[in-house]
């Protein structure tokens, strides 16, 4: 029963890291558009 908890935690950490990477790319694009 408690076997799915580590799986859920790993999926959440993956999603969080993907969101962090995407947010960094998005911030860089905003900086580029601000300069122009």
What tens digit of pLDDT does each residue of 1-36 get? 678 999 999 999 999 999 999 999 999 999 888 887
H helices of 1-36, in order, are 4-35
pLDDT at residue 10, rounded to an integer: 97
Q: What is the pTM of this model?
A: 0.59
CA distance between the termini of the chain = 55
Rounded distance between C-alpha atoms, residue 16 and residue 13, angstroms: 5
């Amino acid at each position: 029963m408690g076997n799915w908890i580590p799986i859920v935690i790993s999926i959440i950490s993956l999603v969080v890291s993907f969101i962090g990477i995407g947010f960094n790319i998005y911030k860089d694009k905003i900086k580029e558009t601000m300069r122009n």
